[in-house]
Amino acid sequence: MSEGTVVVEDVSDALSEAREDVARFLLSYKFAIDTLMAKVNILNEEFRYTNDHNPIEHVNSRLKSPTSILEKARRRGVPLDLESISKEILDIAGIRVTCSFVSDTYTIRDMLSGHEDIEVVEERDYVRSPKPNGYRSLHLLVRTPVRMSDRTVEVPVEIQIRTIAMDFWASLEHKIYYKYAKSVPQDLLDELRAAAETANRLDETMERLHDEVRELGDRTQEPLPGPEELRRLPIADELLGALAKRVNARRTD
């Protein structure tokens, strides 16, 4: 075997190993998203069937592409190796939870941070202290363990929790900045800030109305769900029948 052949094989082996390392690196972030999404979905299901109010409206996630990760690393002057990127680029994986009311954002925050395997590394509260442009949202940087085949890694995930109104405003702002390549005319920036204040007033009004309705319900002591409402739950008919018999038996005792 010639020296040139050995060099080619060495390069090929190195490239193959590098591809495997990158794949495992990205998979660890995907698995972290999967783990946290499962926890959020469990909360969502629990609230749907056991509470009079579900604070979760929508949940979505995103994983930055390798190209996007490299572009951000170059902009920040981060060395292009996986160890440096994992330490410096902390928003590779992200989850967004959209809620109905402002108070819901903190309810979700408290529930997620209560998990033993979720470490809150940083919290940025743009709900109470919005950005100058009007942006509001609750940002959490968390770490969660991901168990790979040969090791356990602590993976950072950014969680954004916001109301529907906040999310609508943020989506519109993103589209405007994209359309104008971040050089947005001042009059549009002023309108965006005004729209952010309008969205905030809407959130405050909806929160107040929600509280009033909830207080009214507490005073009237609404009855528990009847048979028709219970049938809408995903509970086996046999179990419902057994429970009904036990209730009837108690009534006749």
pLDDT tens for residues 83-136? 999 999 999 999 999 999 999 999 999 999 999 999 999 999 999 999 999 999
Q: Own/partner pairs for 43-51, CB < 8 Å, 24+ apart?
A: 43/108, 43/111, 49/233, 49/234
pLDDT tens for residues 168-209? 999 999 999 888 887 889 999 999 999 999 999 999 999 999
> Which domains, and CATH codes, for the chain?
3-239 (3.30.460.10)
pLDDT band (50, 70, 90) for residue 224: very low
**pLDDT for 228 beyond 70:** no
Predicted pLDDT of residue 134: 93
- Residue that is written with structure tokens 């109470």 in the block: 128
DSSP states of 4-68 as a string?
Answer: HHHHHHHHHHHHHHHHHHHHHHHHHHHHHHHHHHHHHHHHHHHHHHH-S---EEEEEEEE--HHH
Please give the average per-residue pLDDT across 11-35, as a whole number: 82
- Token pair, residue 236, equals 């086996």
Integer Cα distance of 141 and 149 in angstroms: 25
156: which strand partners? 143
Predicted pLDDT of residue 6: 44
122 classed as catalytic: no
Give the pairing of strands 152-163 and 138-147: antiparallel
The catalytic position among 57, 154, 158, 191 is 158
Integer Cα distance of 131 and 139 in angstroms: 12
Average pLDDT in the chain: 85
* Helical pair 102-113 and 186-220, crossing angle rounded to 10 deg: 80
**pLDDT for 15 beyond 90:** no
**pLDDT for 214 beyond 60:** yes
Is 54 in contact with 47 (CB distance < 8 Å)?
yes
Give the pairing of strands 93-99 and 152-163: parallel
Amino acid at 160: Q
CA 69 to chain CA mean position, Å: 20
> Euclidean distance between the first and final Cα of the chain, in Å?
93
Is 89 in contact with 28 (CB distance < 8 Å)?
no
How wide is the angle at C-alpha 121 spanned by C-alphas 117 and 147, nearest 5°? Answer: 35
pTM, two decimal places? 0.79
Is 120 in contact with 158 (CB distance < 8 Å)?
no
pLDDT tens for residues 33-47? 999 999 999 999 998
- Residue that is written with structure tokens 């994983």 in the block: 63
Is 159 in contact with 94 (CB distance < 8 Å)?
yes
**pLDDT for 230 beyond 50:** no
Percentage of the chain modeled with pLDDT above 70: 79
- Please give the sequence-ordered ranges of beta strands (E in DSSP) within 19-165, or none if there are none: 56-63, 93-99, 119-125, 138-147, 152-163
